[in-house]
Structure 1
Amino acid sequence: MTVHFPFQNSYSALPDSFFARVAPTPVAAPRLIKLNRPLAVQLGLDPDLLETPEGAAILAGKTVPAGADPIAMAYAGHQFGQFVPQLGDGRAILLGEVIDSDGIRRDIQLKGSGPTPFSRRGDGRAALGPVLREYIVSEAMHALGIPTTRSLAAVVTGEHVIRETALPGAVLTRVASSHIRVGTFQFFAVRRDTEAIRRLADHVIARHYPELVGAERPYHALLAGVVARQADLVARWLLVGFIHGVMNTDNSSISGETIDYGPCAFMDAYNPSQVFSSIDEMGRYAYANQPRIALWNLTRLAECLLPLFSDEQEKAVAEAQDILGAFSDQFSAAYQAGLRRKVGLFTERDGDDALIQDLLDAMAKNQADFTLTFRKLGDAAVDDSADARAQFMEPATFDEWAGRWRARIALEPQGATERQVAMHAVNPMFIPRNHRVEAVIQAAVNDDNYAPFEELVKVLAEPFEDQPHYAAYADPPLPDQRVLRTFCGT
């Protein structure tokens, strides 16, 4: 049998200015190292056939499947605040789109599949390490319930890529609701192509915001919809200690999904100023800056949409500012509600926000592990001797706060066990800790050993379960295991 992709492509039917048609560059000896079988089934694909040599060849870009219409998408973007009028898919090729089992249109894209007209003298390839990192983290984010692109497969190419040294080459098959970014709108805005902006906005509304079709002011409603999704998304990031690393406008998805896992990382010790990305020297995308940057990116989107709002510039700007003004309240509402759930509060009372902020301040001062503090707090809801206090350099600091917390939860009707279950449902035991990710990458790159990678992926698929057999995966790094810098991988 032949591998069949039920493509129903729409983006490639847009005008040629939206993309460049380009086929993946064949590779020498593709070998499948990981297939996400449940995701394959959801996409209407046969996982058994994808695991054959024919399937590996398709997932590596050596063979283009029937019905594909491979393109590299055009976009611009602000990179660390500096505008670049043309970026585009420099090492990724969109094979096409399928309708999944939930009726959702999904892109299937090969990342690391060779040069495109947007490669800017790059080789268009990906090294094995960044491919494994994106597979691990994107699937972990999905398991954590955070909107994200997904990873369908990872394939080694049988070739090397040259970075600081020769590294094994690989291709990631990425799945997304779409790969349309704020930077996609910027690409046409800088060219003053209002008709293209309108075509793109109409495509986005039909694809991601169908409830807006026929709205009286659809483009205003589109901006409001993207603002709401981004506010919720960034709140979710903060609630699990995630730091994107490169929140450029070309990495800001219109669909509200997390996209482009380059130098991303999860915090160990809580530090609002935490930065891991080696290229973020000024801390622009530090943990606590992410809401502000999201609004900055959304403001760039609003600028692109102004010609669709009104012919009167002042009127259009005022209307956009009004929509953008909702971001702060929407983010705060999502974030504070999430924090209340994390500390086991079912209701909202005056003083709750201050109580939670006191905990965060104490965690920062005491270098308490973000993930374990909240997880152990769930245990403390039923057992006064639970070791949440062990996360603090000065346990008495936690004891003082815990006394006020216990007095607060005593005002609610829920029982201790019910509270613990609810807290454990939102406070993961397992996250992709940086030292664990680096360890599995090194095993794969240096020894062609994927057993640690498989085990980590398995553990992270159930982040809210205790999994006693894998308890060590919850441990923070020892001092000599700490990862202080993460890298983009381009």
Structure 2
Amino acid sequence: MKKLTELVFNNTYSQLPAAFGTPIKPQPLDDPFLVSVNSKVSELLELDPEQARTEYFINLFTGNDDYPVMSPIAMKYTGHQFGQYNPDLGDGRGLLLGEVLTSSGQKWDIHLKGSGLTPYSRQGDGRAVLRSSIREYLASAAMAGLGIKTTHALAVLSSNTPVFRETIERGATLIRVAESHLRFGHFEYFFYTQQHAELKILADYLITHHFPEINEQKNEASRYSQMFHNIVRLTAEMIADWQAVGFAHGVMNTDNMSILGLTFDYGPYGFLDDYEPGFICNHSDYSGRYAFNQQPNIALWNLSALGYALTPLLEKNDIDHALESYQPLLQKAYSEKMRKKLGLKEKMEQDTLLFTNLFDLMRTQAVDYTLFFRTMSSIPHAELKTSSHLFQSLYKDLTPLEVWLSLYADRLEKDSLSDTDRLELMRTSNPKYILRNYLAQQAIEQAENGDFTLVEQLLTVLQSPFDEHPKFAAFAEQPPEWGKTLEISCSS
């Protein structure tokens, strides 16, 4: 493990033409202090996590000190927000500080969220608050623990700087770590401003750094076509992950869509408590555009917007062909994940009806999505038909469930997976712990009073959510009724 000053920086993005962003330094926070550091993320950087407790680390990432090998830049991009194109976007409260190159050749962006005013701040103050920083910190850890591709958060730092939202809150910064911070909106910016030369530079940059296998193709049109196919595939796989685990992003604007299929820009997100297909986690989403069951369609809409932005590089037929692959890729990935959740190895025609009946049952009785599948993961085949009593706290009427359990037990008899292997597959596919909104809220309230204990406890279970963690079993229980109705908006 290295000291901070031993990290190797290779700042390729800041070396791109001036149109790509604006060099700017972070603005200092007053009396900064560490809230939490994620040791698993520090390992990605080959950084000793104890470095986060040093005065230099804290001052550096709160704008109170410099590190000459970093090249801070506010990235310029645009995007479609709630379906409407907005040209006035960019890193309004964040900076790409630099890019760490590890001993294996892996490149990691180091990004500061909450670093102060930039040319793209619009009417904002460029700050983040402790509340939103903790939400993203814990959410990114939760998604990584679930095996879902995501941006990461190295640490949360807070301060005595007042930030004005609905009330006065503590100014904070989140140190985000990601393979790339490129968004759909980066391509849209160069397309809509007719900077087609820069659009090509961006596409070449993406291919060189993230799809190097495409570089072997000499034909440019073929390279860009394969690039778009890769983006479509990665996006489909991400959405399949979200839908299988019950995650709602809340604000799927194109400027919040990662070009690498990473879960990106955590704001008013929410994991399903009761199974509700139309779940809207963002209180500001009045039309339900980004409801849980709309996410697959919205992702395709966003990919279509990206495809349109790539028309200077691609023929329409190539774009259409890539977009047509989205639905089959999504369905295949989602189907595989859902079969694992029920411990099914073979794919059979009757499975569609089995899942449809289950989802209808869960919806009509408002069954806790995570707890149902986790409970199923411990029931031997021989006991399934008489196991309905195990679900008494989840179902109001057990009779329909008993019918479904009988059908499921019969289906298992046609599968080649042994009962032992089935249960193991289900235990590693159905988490015991998710980041429920009420737990995040309790952690935030305690942190705002200077107690970071719950933040650390949640970090522990979310990093390995399939394990039992008996000491923290209460985190896996059904939320209280008030915890299901918390209002989270974009400002969160």
How has the CA–CA distance of structure 1 residues 46 and 479 changed in structure 2, closer, same or farther, with 3 Å as cutoff? closer
Correspondence for 2:359: 360
Correspondence for 2:414: 411
Give CA deviations for 1:207-264 in whole Å, capped at 9, x if unaligned: 1111111323011111100000000000000111000000000000001100000000
Deviation at 1:389, TM superposition (A): 5.7
- How does 1:116-127 map onto structure 2 within 5 Å? 116-127=118-129
- Amino acid of the structure 2 residue aligned with 1:149: T
Correspondence for 1:313: none
Give CA deviations for 1:447-473 in whole Å, capped at 9, x if unaligned: 211111111111111100122221110
Correspondence for 1:461: 463
* 5+ residue gaps, structure 2: none
- Amino acid of the structure 1 residue aligned with 2:435: P
Q: TM-score scaled to structure 2, two decimals? A: 0.96
Give CA deviations for 1:399-446 in whole Å, capped at 9, x if unaligned: 11111100000112322222111001010000001111111111111x
Correspondence for 1:77: 79
Runs of 4+ residues deviating >6 angstroms: none
Correspondence for 1:189: 191
Instruction: Check conservation: 2:157, 2:172, Cα contact below 8 A.
Output: yes
Deviation at 1:483, TM superposition (A): 3.3
Deviation at 1:101, TM superposition (A): 5.1
- Secondary structure in structure 1 of the residue aligned to 2:277: coil
Instruction: Check conservation: 1:5, 1:65, Cα contact below 8 A.
Output: no
- Amino acid of the structure 2 residue aligned with 1:326: S
Correspondence for 1:429: 432
- How does 1:31-430 map onto structure 2 within 5 Å? 31-100=33-102, 102-215=104-217, 216=219, 217-309=222-314, 316-382=315-381, 383-384=383-384, 385=387, 387-388=390-391, 390-430=393-433
Cα distance between partner residues in 2 of 1:440 and 1:48: 23
- Secondary structure in structure 2 of the residue aligned to 1:308: coil
How has the CA–CA distance of structure 1 residues 417 and 2 changed in structure 2, closer, same or farther, with 3 Å as cutoff? closer
- Amino acid of the structure 1 residue aligned with 2:321: D
- How does 1:12-23 map onto structure 2 within 5 Å? 12-23=14-25
- Secondary structure in structure 2 of the residue aligned to 1:116: coil
- Secondary structure in structure 2 of the residue aligned to 1:98: strand
Instruction: Check conservation: 2:239, 2:296, Cα contact below 8 A.
Output: yes
Instruction: Check conservation: 2:27, 2:62, Cα contact below 8 A.
Output: no
How has the CA–CA distance of structure 1 residues 444 and 483 changed in structure 2, closer, same or farther, with 3 Å as cutoff? farther
Cα distance between partner residues in 2 of 1:207 and 1:476: 44
Give CA deviations for 1:102-128 in whole Å, capped at 9, x if unaligned: 532110001001010000021100110
Cα distance between partner residues in 1 of 2:207 and 2:154: 26
Cα distance between partner residues in 2 of 1:103 and 1:401: 51
Does 2:439 align with 1:440? no
- Amino acid of the structure 1 residue aligned with 2:335: Q
Q: CA RMSD in A?
A: 1.4
Instruction: Check conservation: 1:133, 1:437, Cα contact below 8 A.
Output: yes
Moved more, 137-146 or 94-103: 94-103
Instruction: Check conservation: 1:336, 1:353, Cα contact below 8 A.
Output: no
Deviation at 1:86, TM superposition (A): 2.5
Instruction: Check conservation: 1:136, 1:432, Cα contact below 8 A.
Output: yes
Deviation at 1:96, TM superposition (A): 0.3
- Amino acid of the structure 2 residue aligned with 1:143: G
1:9 to 8, 11, 24: 11
In percent, how many aligned pairs have the same letter? 38
Moved more, 287-296 or 460-469: 460-469
Cα distance between partner residues in 2 of 1:220 and 1:335: 25
Cα distance between partner residues in 2 of 1:244 and 1:339: 20
Deviation at 1:60, TM superposition (A): 1.6
Give CA deviations for 1:8-38 in whole Å, capped at 9, x if unaligned: 1111111010001110001221101111223
- Secondary structure in structure 1 of the residue aligned to 2:8: coil
Query: How many residues are paired up?
Result: 483
Cα distance between partner residues in 2 of 1:61 and 1:402: 58
Deviation at 1:321, TM superposition (A): 0.9
- Amino acid of the structure 1 residue aligned with 2:212: P
Deviation at 1:4, TM superposition (A): 3.8
- Secondary structure in structure 1 of the residue aligned to 2:166: coil
Moved more, 414-423 or 386-395: 386-395
- Amino acid of the structure 2 residue aligned with 1:471: A
Cα distance between partner residues in 2 of 1:489 and 1:480: 20
Q: TM-score scaled to structure 1, two decimals? A: 0.96
- Secondary structure in structure 2 of the residue aligned to 1:349: coil
- Secondary structure in structure 2 of the residue aligned to 1:95: strand
Give CA deviations for 1:147-192 in whole Å, capped at 9, x if unaligned: 0000001001221101111101110000011110000000000011
Deviation at 1:395, TM superposition (A): 1.2
Instruction: Check conservation: 1:234, 1:290, Cα contact below 8 A.
Output: yes
Moved more, 280-289 or 379-388: 379-388
Moved more, 146-155 or 32-41: 32-41
Deviation at 1:266, TM superposition (A): 0.4
* 5+ residue gaps, structure 1: 310-315
- Amino acid of the structure 2 residue aligned with 1:292: N
Cα distance between partner residues in 1 of 2:327 and 2:321: 12
Deviation at 1:2, TM superposition (A): 6.8
Deviation at 1:390, TM superposition (A): 4.1
Instruction: Check conservation: 2:88, 2:122, Cα contact below 8 A.
Output: no
- Secondary structure in structure 1 of the residue aligned to 2:344: coil
